Amino acid sequence: MNKVTKISAISLFALFLTACDKPAEKAPAPAQNTQTAQPQNAQPNQVTLNVNEQNIDDVKKFLNWDAQQIEILNAPQDELRIATENKDTAKIQAALQQLTEKANQVLADADKLDIKDPTVNLLKDKAKENLVLSINFVNESFGYMVQGKQPSEEDKQKLNATYQRVAASSQELQQIREKLHQIIAPKPAQEQPKQEQPTTK
């Protein structure tokens, strides 16, 4: 499975810290409406899922949705990286806005999934929670650049603490995804043992 997470917080945060050393001379107004909708009944605790015949269809629905969202969110993330490297605050603001809109679309799509298994729903909510945390973290981080401000050391410490939460949550979800893909992957057909032919006397 492709190990690209929906929000590449690690690379974006590193890019943010590097870019903050040389802020752009001009900055437009701060980005508007960059808060994602909070998922309902999100579960912060670890989710353990046993796949069986009763819930395997729900697992496949979740994994299909999960894979589709990677494609949806990749483009605005790339635009944010390019805008940041070019110190173009107007395009940074536009990329943040687009990323937030796409993330809200992802969350809305998750709510439309017809998943009946309660444990799979907990996993879906955990994925939504991680996405919200990631998007808000990216907006908070790059908001300093949009406003033409340098984060203080205290601000950087707070951002780093949030980043650690995002990284830990993303890693846990990635491990769950990989295990689920391994479980539902088609098993290779096993060769039937050859029966010995009866010998004739």
Structure-block tokens of residue 125: 């909510």
Tell me the average pLDDT across 84-100. Answer: 91
Q: What is the four-CA torsion angle of 2, 51, 165, 9, rounded to 10 degrees?
A: 20
Residue 194, pLDDT above cutoff 70 = no
Q: How far apart are CA 85 and CA 195, in angstroms?
A: 67
Most confident stretch, 4-18, 83-97, 136-150:
83-97
Q: What is the pLDDT of residue 102?
A: 93
Q: What is the mean pLDDT of the chain?
A: 76
